[in-house]
Structure 1
């Protein structure tokens, strides 16, 4: 039982450490992806940990433009500073290596969003957005006729938003 308590504390500290090192608000899906890619914590254990950290005000969950995001609070930072020495150097090193090699990808996932909602039986509203340094580059809403089209638009936007944005700007600013 004592080992379980140590694992619980270390896993929560690991989550706080990751949030601090990311230094940007992230979605629950993105933090889950980071944790699972590195096999830090089992999915079924991770979700209650996140909920406990939120209910204890170590992590703040808030809504920003219809997207729920998470970020570490001052209380979470203080707790991490007090107990960071209980987090193994190996785990911190793994997090640091992962973030250093994937930070641009992670920030791109944060800045590029694509989702869709059902407007009625035969219409879907696709919302595509790109931000850079908290400035909106593009915020586009498009109505399409099928779920498949909505999913494809979202997928293409997430995969190649830079090229799509460039082509859109070229079309809009074409002087012909």
Structure 2
């Protein structure tokens, strides 16, 4: 399955480096996107690596703002610090450049949330939330009459949250 143990170790160290470099909570899906977009390993190998890193206590799942995120453990940080030089400089540069260009969209994915729950048989509660630097900017709950409205609100919020937030703020502050 693996070309050799050096490649296996380098790939796992690279995952630890990615999680440390992102500096914000990162979901399994976001990590998967980063790794696949850079063609480091295939999906199934990546999921196996993540499981192995969790089982060896180098990574752990934590819940942040009701989302599961991967986090480096102290043991993982120590291993990365000791063996980072085993990651090829070209892969390090590729990842660092990628993260630099994508960090804002990663932050937005994490800090803007929208979900809905049935309130009763005829309505749904939509919860729209914006968080910036661990500060809650907006937490709005709205009751709507259909699932379609709930889905539409969530979609609009995720795609245009800054504009909607500004409109809400202006409507509340200005007459």
Q: Does the alignment reach a TM-score above 0.5? A: yes
In 2, Cα distance between the equivalents of 1:151 and 1:32? 25
Contact 2:25 2:64 in 1 (8 A): no
Aligned to 1:14: 14
Structure 1 residues without counterparts, runs of 5 or longer: none
Tell me how many residue pairs correspond in the alignment: 175
Aligned to 1:132: 132
Distance 1:66-1:2 versus aligned 2 partners, 3 A rule:
closer
Alignment of 1:43-54 (within 5 A): 43-54=43-54
User: TM-score of the superposition, structure 1-length normalised?
Assistant: 0.89
SS of residue matched to 2:127: strand
Deviation at 1:121, TM superposition (A): 4.2
Aligned to 1:102: 102
State the 4+ residue runs in structure 1 displaced beyond 6 angstroms: none
Distance 1:152-1:37 versus aligned 2 partners, 3 A rule:
farther
Aligned to 1:116: 116
RMSD (Å), alpha carbons: 1.9
Alignment of 1:3-82 (within 5 A): 3-82=3-82
Deviation at 1:4, TM superposition (A): 4.2
SS of residue matched to 1:3: coil
